[in-house]
């Protein structure tokens, strides 16, 4: 008999259901707070999992309580460590702009180390929801608009959080969330129903989760949402049949917060027992915060809606996860050793590097940037300049404002000898514009105006959909006044834009001399911004989402399917808007540096490829500017004729080259020809012979892509 078999044989129903329950908790001066529950539940073995308890002391105290219980089963304690724990990195959408899988894995690894030192064994990350709608606030947490990129995020984050040995004291169980297709909520409204085609489900929203399962993710969290009429928390075909049956996922499925109870509001369950039965039958193992399993399953058993065998299967998976994490061997290993100061310092250095690499320069005209070495006086305006707490982004885990560097603090430290005159001018979202005039007076005698504009951290993330995803409050008025002042004084106006999504910002795009998407950059935000503005580091970030010109273009993304009437200005009856061009303001992959690159001599081999070949691509890159910088190039394919319509562009690979001024280098990219398999009319994978275009360039702007055709043969 294994340890788990022995335990299972001894466990009462209440103890079994305790292992299937996860309760939110916290630690106040008065001691532990277990939301709607009690620490007695831990001591009597009827609560087996916690979220949001942080710190070696509190977690040790909770593990002590569990150890005193009849069977002494250790607690699983988790937290939303989405982009760092105490030392926050840029939000995931920002980090994707670095287009650097090694960095993505490294930040997850460092976050896991820091969280494990705080006694945690699980994170509710990576969030893998592909989003093409900036109205949806959770766009901030995810991989952006592309499924292939989402899959790369999945595998790097799972490896980073979990390592190859989940029992390691600095490993965390990762949680691929929110399964699945949460991004296309109706009208971009949070928690709204989702209605998409089976094809879009399989081509866009499942691949990142498939990659997470292949990477060995320990847990998965279903989305709150209703997908095509079935709430994900009760979605047997996708949880049981696809995840567990087809992909062979045998880890733990943990519900989202109260999602089991919400099946009643979805209208698929009369009461809690019915809701609990639906979730258990679909394959959900842990009930987070609905108390549906503890209160509902005993009744569901009596009603014959579920069997003890189904309960045992779920308990077995939870106990196995705790065993894989090493919790039975030593529940105190995580949190046992304090981190050394140099480890924390190294982590912040990494955060600074990742932040500089995430900054995406969308515009830079008349050499506004880098700041001239002769610059002596800088006028800094806007509500995001002195806002350390906002740099954290919407999921700040244990990150506190005190250890975040604001823009102002970063500029003061990073621009020695420069006089900085600052005024907020306006708030982030209030309607008071009375401070604009006085603020602008600070620009007299200045060499440049720096505007720090955008959203508050909690204006993106969960429950933060925006029908007008643009500059909030009176910030636009401040910007327009600053542009006018800049023109009058003949000085550049540089905009730093902080947001958890692309914003609709036509005036900034038109009138700013330079415009940088700073997203939310984490604990080293200010230092990273100063590194870039000063020219010490050239910006290299590339946007992982298309930026709409107008909200009316949404959803806008590079992987759109063709139309039978492609836009043609010479023909009125073609696909267009009367009032805005079809293309995005900034395409996927767009991002400027302080230099200029030329791309030439594209070579592709083989020119005729079978399914088992690898397509190798080489291209020469020359830095013909004055600054060292990193170039990122994307490799897309276009399958022009197939048995179903195929996207206009599909991302297959990307690569980077760091080149000093004047230097050239060769970028090698490759992808398996088997990647050209697609879902035929019956949604079954097919590999079809025919011409394929290979397209290479700095963004999804087709006009910037070099093209070479090859032939696929059966
Ligand atoms: C939240 C989120 C989910 C998070 C969970 C625990 O509602 O939807 O992403 O992991 O609850 O905080």
477-523: pLDDT as tens digits: 999 999 999 999 999 999 999 999 999 999 999 999 999 999 999 99
Is 330 in the active site? no
Q: Which residues pair with 87 in a beta bridge?
A: none
Angle of helix 308-324 versus helix 272-282 axis, rounded to 10:
60
Q: Which helix (H) or strand (E) covers residue 212, if one does?
A: helix 207-214
Per-residue confidence band for 1, with pLDDT thresholds at 50, 70 and 90: confident
Amino acid 30: pLDDT: 80
Q: Alpha carbon of 8 to those of 2, 202, 322: distances in Å?
A: 10, 37, 14
Nearest CA to ligand 1 atom 12: 80
The tens digit of pLDDT for each residue in 645-678 reads: 999 999 999 999 999 999 999 999 999 999 999 9
The tens digit of pLDDT for each residue in 337-349 reads: 999 999 999 999 9
Mean pLDDT over the full length of the chain: 97
Do 61 and 32 touch, CB atoms closer than 8 A?
Answer: yes
CA 257 – ligand 1 centroid, Å: 6
Amino acid 78: pLDDT: 98
Do 540 and 590 touch, CB atoms closer than 8 A?
Answer: no
CA 125 – ligand 1 centroid, Å: 10
How many angstroms separate the CA atoms of 602 and 616, rounded?
A: 11
Cα radius of gyration (the chain): 26
Percentage with pLDDT > 90 across the chain? 97
Nearest CA to ligand 1 atom 10: 124
Q: Which two tokens stand for residue 659?
A: 């080149």
CA 510 – ligand 1 centroid, Å: 38
CA 149 – ligand 1 centroid, Å: 22
Amino acid 125: pLDDT: 98
Q: Which residues line ligand 1 (CB under 6 A)?
A: 51, 80, 124, 177, 256-257, 462
How many angstroms separate the CA atoms of 406 and 427, rounded?
A: 16
pTM of the model: 0.98
Tabulate helix, strand, coil % of the chain (nearest 5).
35, 20, 45
Q: Given strand 650-659, what is the order of strands in its sheet? A: 608-609, 706-712, 690-697, 629-639, 650-659
Ligand 1 atom with minimal separation from the 177 CA: 9
Mean pLDDT, to the nearest integer, of 456-466?
97
The tens digit of pLDDT for each residue in 543-598 reads: 999 999 999 999 999 999 999 999 999 999 999 999 999 999 999 999 999 999 99
Mean pLDDT, to the nearest integer, of 453-482?
98
Where helices occur in 415-514 by DSSP H, the ranges are 436-441, 475-489, 506-511
- Give CA angle at 267 (262, 273), nearest 5°: 60
Q: Is the pLDDT of residue 425 over 90?
A: yes
CA 142 – ligand 1 centroid, Å: 13
Strand-pair category, 377-381 with 685-686: unpaired
Nearest CA to ligand 1 atom 7: 257
Do 126 and 92 touch, CB atoms closer than 8 A?
Answer: yes
Amino acid 423: pLDDT: 98
Q: Is the pLDDT of residue 448 over 90?
A: yes
The active-site residue, picked from 170, 256, 447, 639, is 256
Ligand 1 atom with minimal separation from the 224 CA: 8
Q: Which of 638, 624, 490 is nearest to 562 (CA)?
A: 638
Q: Which two tokens stand for residue 13?
A: 């129903």
Ligand 1 atom with minimal separation from the 141 CA: 9
Evaluate the CA torsion angle 537, 501, 695, 515 in order and state its sign. negative
């Amino acid at each position: 008999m294994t340890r788990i078999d022995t335990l299972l044989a001894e466990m009462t129903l209440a103890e079994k259901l305790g292992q299937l329950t996860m309760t939110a908790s916290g630690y106040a001066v008065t001691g532990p707070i277990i939301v709607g529950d009690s620490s007695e539940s831990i001591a009597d073995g009827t609560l087996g999992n916690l979220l949001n308890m942080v710190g070696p002391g509190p977690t040790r105290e909770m593990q002590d309580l569990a150890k005193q219980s009849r069977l002494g089963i250790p607690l699983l304690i988790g937290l939303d460590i989405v982009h760092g724990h105490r030392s926050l990195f840029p939000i995931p959408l920002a980090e994707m702009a670095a287009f650097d899988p090694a960095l993505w894995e490294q930040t997850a690894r460092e976050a896991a180390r820091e969280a494990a030192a705080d006694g945690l064994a699980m994170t509710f990350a990576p969030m893998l929801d592909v989003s093409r709608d900036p109205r949806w606030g959770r766009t901030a947490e995810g991989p952006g608009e592309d499924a292939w990129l989402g899959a790369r995020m999945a595998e790097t984050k799972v490896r980073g959080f979990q390592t190859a040995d989940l029992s390691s004291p600095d490993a965390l169980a990762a949680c691929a969330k929110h399964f699945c297709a949460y991004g296309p909520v109706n009208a971009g409204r949070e928690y709204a129903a989702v209605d998409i085609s089976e094809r879009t489900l399989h081509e866009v929203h499942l691949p990142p989760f498939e990659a997470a399962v292949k990477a060995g993710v320990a847990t998965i969290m279903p989305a709150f949402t209703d997908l095509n009429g079935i709430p994900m928390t009760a979605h047997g075909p996708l949880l049981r049949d696809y995840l567990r049956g087809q992909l062979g996922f045998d880890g733990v499925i943990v519900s989202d917060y109260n999602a089991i109870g919400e099946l009643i509001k979805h209208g698929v369950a009369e009461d809690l027992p019915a809701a609990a039965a639906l979730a258990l039958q679909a394959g959900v193992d842990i009930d987070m915060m609905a108390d549906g399993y503890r209160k509902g399953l005993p009744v569901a058993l009596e009603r014959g809606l579920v069997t003890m065998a189904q309960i045992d299967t779920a308990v077995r998976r939870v106990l196995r996860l705790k065993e894989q994490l090493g919790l039975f061997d030593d529940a105190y290993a995580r949190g046992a050793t304090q981190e050394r100061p140099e480890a924390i310092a190294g982590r912040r250095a990494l955060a600074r590097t990742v932040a500089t690499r995430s900054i995406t320069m969308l515009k830079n005209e008349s050499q506004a940037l880098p700041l001239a070495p002769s610059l002596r006086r800088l006028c800094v305006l806007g509500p995001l300049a002195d806002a350390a707490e906002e740099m954290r982004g919407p999921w700040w885990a244990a990150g506190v404002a005190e250890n975040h560097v604001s823009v102002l603090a970063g500029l003061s430290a990073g621009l020695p000898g420069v006089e900085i005159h600052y005024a907020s001018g306006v708030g982030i979202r209030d309607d008071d514009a009375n401070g604009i005039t006085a603020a602008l007076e600070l620009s007299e005698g200045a060499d440049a105006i720096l505007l720090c504009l955008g959203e508050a951290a909690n204006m993106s993330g969960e429950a933060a959909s925006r029908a007008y995803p643009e500059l909030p409050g009176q910030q636009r008025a401040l910007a327009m006044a600053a542009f006018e002042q800049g023109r009058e004084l003949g000085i550049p106006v540089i905009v730093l834009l902080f947001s958890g999504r692309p914003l609709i910002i036509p005036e900034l795009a038109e009138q700013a001399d330079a415009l940088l998407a700073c997203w939310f950059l984490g604990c080293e935000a200010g230092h990273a911004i100063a590194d870039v503005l000063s020219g010490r580091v050239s910006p290299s970030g590339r946007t992982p989402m298309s930026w709409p010109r107008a909200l009316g273009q949404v959803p806008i993304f590079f992987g759109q399917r063709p139309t039978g009437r492609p836009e043609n200005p010479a023909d009125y009856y073609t696909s267009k808007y009367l009032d805005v061009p079809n293309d995005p303001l900034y395409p996927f992959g767009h991002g400027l540096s302080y230099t200029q690159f030329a791309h030439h001599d594209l070579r592709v081999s083989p020119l005729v490829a079978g399914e088992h070949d690898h397509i190798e691509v080489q291209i020469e890159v020359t830095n013909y500017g004055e600054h060292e910088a990193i170039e990122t190039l994307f490799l897309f394919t276009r399958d022009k004729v197939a048995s179903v319509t195929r996207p206009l562009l599909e991302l297959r690979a990307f690569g980077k080259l760091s080149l000093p001024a004047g230097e050239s280098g060769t970028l090698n990219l490759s992808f398996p020809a088997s990647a050209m398999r697609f879902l035929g009319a019956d949604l079954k994978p097919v590999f079809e012979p025919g011409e394929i275009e290979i397209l290479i360039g700095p963004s999804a702007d087709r006009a910037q892509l070099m093209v070479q055709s090859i032939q696929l043969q059966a």
